[in-house]
Amino acid sequence: MTDEVILANATLVLRGETVTGSLHIKGETIAGIDQGAHVPAGAVDCEGDFVSPGLVELHTDNLERHIQPRPKVDWPHAAAILAHDAELAGTGITTVFDAMRVGSIPSGAGRYLQYARNLSRELWQLREASALKISHFLHLRAEVCSETLVEELDEFAPEDRVGLVSLMDHTPGQRQFRDMTKLEAYMKGKHAMSDDTFLQHVSQLKGLRDRYGDRHEIETVKAARRLGSVLASHDDTTAEQVAVSAGHGIRLAEFPTTIEAAEACHAHGIKVIMGAPNLIRGGSHSGNVAAADLAERGLLDILSSDYVPSALLLSAVRLGALWGDMARGMATVTRTPAQAVGLDDRGEIAPGLRADLIRFRMSQDVPALQSVWSRGRRVA
């Protein structure tokens, strides 16, 4: 990498518009923008390709998929982290909030163990060694239907880069899995549960919610304040649930399951995040509201790749087509998520901001990624 790079003859995705122009990168930052198709000597001719801010991902389960690629298979964590980092870079994501569950169930039908504290330490060791291509923060998914949530949250400190904490309540029969047949199909398909084991799992989670749920909610809100993290809700379904979220100071709603909940979120000034796979597939795998329906009603603010990293760019482009506004579609994966978590140094093409950038062109209505830069360094 040279100290100065010019990306010329590009379709620049700016705030509220796209223009033909050139982008000047100096070191790690954007130095300037010029309009017009002229290609100066030594510049990279982008041939009209889109140049956009790098994508900002607030919720992805991708790291968990790498550390456990199959049930009961624990992959070496450093190798998994590096593979995850490289995969995200290769899909245009330059900032990620790595989702890690906190709150475990050491025994019973739905047994799962603690892992977030040790995994995050390994992540930061690789970051300190400059082994990572993109920018990483933590997203702690606080599961209230658990036994050890408070103890696990207490292990994290403000220096751990916990940018986001989400309140998760997977009590069967409400929120994401109001339809118990959907939950049964999911658990049996993913975890090969028998009929008896599934019934035990449902009973166990309901019992944990009764015993610990209220306390876990209160302690999670306290932990987010202590850590300086943005607080998010998960799978709000009713206006009443959104009102409780607003009372907690929640600023982001991940995957509201109904139009009612999304409308209530906007009424309370809460940004709505929906899954990119939902948008691309045309609906939720859990049978909940379709992301496209919220987009058409102006109720979708941010997209998350959730479980398919490559879905993030594709879904933003499709939103741009739905709205007839590429800049608006791309803002759902760049400027809006960055602002929602207080990152004012990225998410937009403007002088002085981080040179986190992607270049892509359209091929058969699909964005074909050409290049990715993180802090001015080409990483894919």
Domains defined along the chain, listed by start: 1-53+348-380 (2.30.40.10), 55-345 (3.20.20.140)
Separation between Cα atoms, residue 229 and residue 117, nearest integer Å: 16
Q: Give pLDDT tens digits for 293-337.
A: 999 999 999 999 999 999 999 999 999 999 999 999 999 999 999
- Name the more confident of 288 and 51: 51
DSSP string, 57-70: EEEE-HHHHHH-SS
The percentage of residues in the chain with a pLDDT greater than 90, rounded to a whole number, is 77
Which residues neighbour 85 within 8 Å (Cβ) at sequence distance 6 or greater? Answer: 126, 132, 133, 134, 136
Structure tokens at 40: 């100066």
Q: Give pLDDT tens digits for 244-303.
A: 999 999 999 999 999 999 999 999 999 999 999 999 999 886 678 999 999 999 999 999
Q: How many Cβ atoms sit within 10 Å of the Cβ of residue 94?
A: 28
Handedness of CA 341, 323, 234, 100 (dihedral sign): negative
Q: Is 144 helix (H, G, I), strand (E, B) or coil?
A: coil
Separation between Cα atoms, residue 142 and residue 226, nearest integer Å: 15
**Cβ–Cβ under 8 Å, residues 366 and 356:** no
**Cβ–Cβ under 8 Å, residues 32 and 351:** yes
Query: What do you get for the CA distance between the two ends of the chain, in Å?
Result: 13
pTM of the model as a whole: 0.91
Single out the residue of 33, 41, 40, 43 nearest to residue 4, CA to CA: 43
